[in-house]
Each structure stands twice: as structure tokens, then as C-alpha cells.
Amino acid sequence: MRNIYLTILILVSTCLLFGQAAEEALPLQQAVSDSLTLVREKEILSEYGFKDSNLLSEVAVKLEIQNLDSWKRYLGLEPENRKLDGMTLRKLGITPYRALLAQQFSVYGFTELSTLNEVAASLNMPIKKLKQQLNLANPGSRKWDSYSLQSQDISPEKIKTLHDSFLANQLSYGVSVTLVGMLTVFSALLITSLVIRQLVHLNRPPKTTKPDLKLSPGGKVVAASATLNKNMIAAIITALHIHQQSLEDRRKMALTFRRTPTNQWRASAVLSMPNREINAKRR
């Protein structure tokens, strides 16, 4: 029981330590995220010239928003409510960085925080082709799929340019993929047919050797090997004759010992006695 209590105490203390470490890590991650947001908002102020004190309509003009309803919908606002256009971002609880992300989503269908997998799904574009156009190392690897555009220092405008280039060459790309697929299938079928054809040689029946001597039913020599002389032929015929004679003798002996038993008394018709006939006539 003492060992059990010690084990439970160790497990509880370990869980508490892990919980404390997780609680300490959350504020650290939040601090890093807030610092990145502040840096990005400073860049937005210098590039687009607005901050959280600007009105929503002013921000839309500075960001050159064309689809205002889609932009407001991404921000979680009611698109038909025009009173919101006269409110500041701070009053609406919207940060400048969030406004920029909404602008990117309304224009491109994705943002700079979207992963490569999400971008490829949004553009209906093969993700491997996208990674090839971005000149990423080992495009076949999936380690890039969960990376955001911001982490790779890729702008949505660059993705849009690559997508337009892909659409321009989409026909040739589709034809090349189709040809590669057809060649792969036909090559596999050809190799399979060759392998199946060679399987016949695995179970090849043994070759039958020609007999050195061939006799007719009458005992005459029909064909003989060139290496056989007359003495060998005579010896072979003699051995064959002795073998046939021994078979005949064995057959006669088998018939003798296995003859069907018969009743000699019945066979001699002893049962038909003359007294029986005489008695039959008297009656």
C-alpha cells in the first residue's frame, strides 16, 4: 500500500508540473501573437494609412474594397447595416490587421494566414503544382502543407499571379498528366502480360527421350538407334521375350489358383435319380 501511495503522489505532482508549464506557455504565446500583431499594424499604417480610429467607410476606401458586403461579412458585421459604416474600427472591436485580412479574403478568397493546403483548396489547384511554382524544396513532401503564406513570406498577390499562369497553361498541364497516366497504365499492362507469358516456362513438362529400339506388335524391329549393334538388339529382344513369357506364366498360375469353385456332384447330374422317375410314373 505504501508503494501505491508513493506512485499516486508522483503522478499527481507530475500532472501539476505539466499544468503549470502549460499555463506559463499560454501567456508567452499570447505575448508573441500580440507583438506580431502590433508590428503588422504598424506596417499597415505606413502602407495603407489607417488605424483603429478611422471610420469603417474610410478604411474601405483606403483598402480599395470593391465587394463591401463580402468584406463586412468576413468581419462579422451585417452587410445591409449602413450605420456601421460611420463607426470607427475601435468602436466596432476590429483591429486594422483584421480589416486587412478581410480585404484579402474578399479579393482572393484566402488570406496571408491561410495555409498552402487551404489556398490550393480555395483555388481548385493541385497543391504539388503550387509548391513547384513557389520553388519549394521537395514539393512532394507534405511538411509545407500546414505552413501559412506569412511564414513563407509569400504575398497573396504572388499566389494570384501563379494561379493566373496555371490557368493559362491548364490545358497543356492536363494533357501531360493524362499522357503520363495512360503511359503508366499501358506499361503496367505490358509488363503483366510479359510476366504471364513467361509463367509457361516454369511448369514445362519434361522432355520425352526417344527409345533406342522400337518394335512392331509382331516383334519386328521398326526403328533402332545408330549406336546399337545387332548383338544389343538381339539381347533386348530376348529380354523382352523372356519378360512377356514370364508374364504369361504368371497369368496362367493366377487363373489356376483363382479358378471359380464348382460343385462336382451337381455338375454330374447325380441329383436326377431314376428311382424318382419310377415313383413318379406309379403315382
pLDDT score of 40: 76
Which of 55-59, 185-189, 233-237 is predicted least confidently?
Answer: 233-237
Instruction: Give 195-233 as a 3 state SS string.
Output: HHHHHHHCCCCCCCCCCCEEECCCCCEEEECCCCCHHHH
d(CA 274, CA 23): 133
pLDDT score of 66: 84
pLDDT score of 22: 40
Which whole number is the average pLDDT over 57-75?
A: 86
pLDDT score of 31: 35
pLDDT 10s digits, 15-47: 554 444 344 333 333 333 566 677 777 888 888
pLDDT score of 30: 37
Select the highest-mean-pLDDT range: 33-42, 123-132, 214-223: 123-132
Per-residue pLDDT at 82 exceeds 60: yes
pLDDT score of 17: 43
Greater pLDDT, 126 or 234:
126
Per-residue pLDDT at 125 exceeds 70: yes
Greater pLDDT, 92 or 236:
92
CA 209, 210, 216, 221 torsion: positive or negative? negative
Greater pLDDT, 217 or 133:
133
The one-letter code for the residue type at 110 is: F
Q: Which residues, other chains included, contact 249 with Cβ-Cβ below 8 Å and sequence gap of 6+? A: none
Select the highest-mean-pLDDT range: 150-159, 214-223, 243-252: 150-159
Per-residue pLDDT at 267 exceeds 60: no
Which whole number is the average pLDDT over 41-65?
A: 86
What pTM does this model have?
A: 0.49
pLDDT 10s digits, 157-203: 888 888 888 887 767 767 777 888 888 999 999 999 888 887 777 76
Contact 98, 77 (CB under 8 A): no
* Closest among 25, 101, 87, 20 to 52, alpha carbons compared: 87
Per-residue pLDDT at 96 exceeds 50: yes
* Closest among 148, 125, 183 to 40, alpha carbons compared: 148
Select the highest-mean-pLDDT range: 7-11, 39-43, 211-215: 39-43
pLDDT score of 18: 46
Per-residue pLDDT at 212 exceeds 50: yes
d(CA 138, CA 248): 86
CA 225, 227, 230, 232 torsion: positive or negative? negative
Portion of the chain with pLDDT greater than 70, in percent: 66
